[in-house]
Amino acid sequence: MSVTEHAVPRWLCFGLACWAATVVAPAHARADGGPSAANTVPAAADSGLRTFAYTRPADSHPLRAVLEEVAILGLGLAQYFANQGSNSRDYDFSYDWDSFRTRVSGSGYSLDTNKFDTNFLTHPGSGILYYWAARSNRLSPLASFAYALTASTLWEFLGEMRERVSINDLIVTPTAGFVLGETTLQLGAFFDRSCDDTKNRALGVLLGPAKSLHDAIDARRPLRDTQCDRYGFSQRGGHELRLSANEVAVLRTQGPDTPAVAETQLDLQTSVLVLEGYGRAGHDSSTFADGNVSELQLHGAFTGAQWTDITLGASTVPFGVHYRDLSPGAGGLWGHELVFGLLIRTEYSAHQYEHRPGAGADQWFAVDAPGMSLSYRRHAGCVRWEAELEVSPSFAGVEQFALDAYLQHASIDTLSSVARAHGYNYGGGVRVHPRARFSSEFAQVTLDFEAVRVWAINDFDRQPERESRIAGSEGRRKAVLWVSLGRRDWPLRLSVLGSFLQRWGELDTTLVSRTELRLGGGVDAVF
């Protein structure tokens, strides 16, 4: 047994003494002792870590994927003609060559005027099916995205041949389908490679139904680990599964007539990193191109029996670089680690700023791509520092926050076609998301900040003769300070949180803003 392994008692990792030691410790500090059991890579990792791993080789099936895409398009076409009565209001063309040539030439394009839920809930759902059909046939993420993009484009040009080509559908359907499809598939694959038990088998099928179906058709069984953590989860790569329940006080600052209210928050956050050696001793750098980094966030909040917030966010880094320089030493690992790559992200949220019956929700949907993701971790024995940054352009569909105030002195005819019909508009802008985290044996502190702003897109109106000239923008800023108290190896931990949310919208000279503060706490279950 190495002397250096016990040179620092574990209890010293708590408090200022351990924190001060990490600040003054030289970057090259190392110890000669071997790694602890927590840092030992299971023998199964010697074969390499892959998204799809089976007990015997399994081939990809690109032709089968094509046939399945055609089948999905066929089902969509049958449903489309079954609802021809409601779809006919969007008809601008006939089934003739002149109409097709107009659409191919580019003059038959527009941002459509469908309802918010149609554009930003059902169309991403179609995109998931397109993506799963290819990815579950064991094609690469890039090839699967190409399949989804092709299927979506064929639908716009041939399936909806009598309508204008929808620019927003060409962006949202394949891209959101890619992100949501890859994120859920990676989560399902994580359970597939975890130890063989009922829980992991069920979750693998639930989150990767198309993959599980193809595996059954091809008589392929996932290659499962035999050395797992105490929950039966794979220890290769990196993962975090977090369930949170919090009670918070919502303090509104927009006026004295809106008193504080109590709110219950429920959160599910998952992170899966299919990176061999992640968080383990070693010195190397490698590239990846198999959707290896993914995150999923599901947030719900309610006051009494009224839902006040529903948010679904997903992101993936399909390819990038992983670098590590980590060595075992006193108290744990010493060194640093970096993951850098292409970011593709999507988010849907519906938030109520007024807690009263009949109050409408402020809806926001965004596709953030192509962006950049940078994650840096500094290990210093028993503590760890993390810094992350995401930057990306954003294409969004957003409720016009200042609409009611604007219409008090202006005509609705000055707005875009989709705003006149449904109260939202399309926008383009930028999203910036920095995050910092400090972890010790007994606590974790996270500071999360996000700022996004999009400017109204008035071009490509479905009714060009009524195109709006009114400038507008929508913005949102969020900051969360979250503290989780409890040992790293405890599944249940106490949490304390404070958050700040600011939302604003601008139409011409009309500006409306709302700000909310939240303070509270609860419990986290971390696996």
Tokens of 24: 């003054």
CB 115 within 8 A of CB 422: yes
| DSSP letter (8 states) at residue 90 | G
Tokens 């007990």 label which residue?
Answer: 55
- Report d(CA 155, CA 285) in Å as an integer: 42
C-alpha distances in angstroms, 172 versus 120, 122, 153, 314? Answer: 8, 11, 11, 14
Asked whether residue 77 carries a pLDDT value surpassing 50, the answer given is: yes
pLDDT tens per residue across span 493-514 = 999 999 999 999 999 999 999 9
Domain extent listing, the chain: 4-34+271-526, 62-217
pLDDT tens per residue across span 343-395 = 999 999 999 987 665 667 899 999 999 999 999 999 999 999 999 999 999 99
Q: Is 244 helix (H, G, I), strand (E, B) or coil?
A: strand
Q: Angle, nearest 10°, between helix axes 62-82 and 141-154? A: 30
The string over 433-467, giving b where at least 16 C-beta atoms fall within 10 Å of a residue's C-beta and e elsewhere, is bebebbbbbbbbebebebebbbbbbbebbbeeeee
Average pLDDT score over residue span 145-173: 91
Average pLDDT score over residue span 23-32: 34
Average pLDDT score over residue span 73-96: 73
Of residues 500, 466, 467, the one with CA closest to residue 482: 500
Alpha helices in 324-444 (DSSP H): 403-407, 417-422
pLDDT tens per residue across span 174-189 = 999 999 999 999 999 9
- Report d(CA 140, CA 124) in Å as an integer: 20
Provide the whole-model pTM: 0.87
Asked whether residue 476 carries a pLDDT value surpassing 90, the answer given is: yes
Give residue 332's region: left, alpha or beta (phi > 0; psi -120 to 50): left
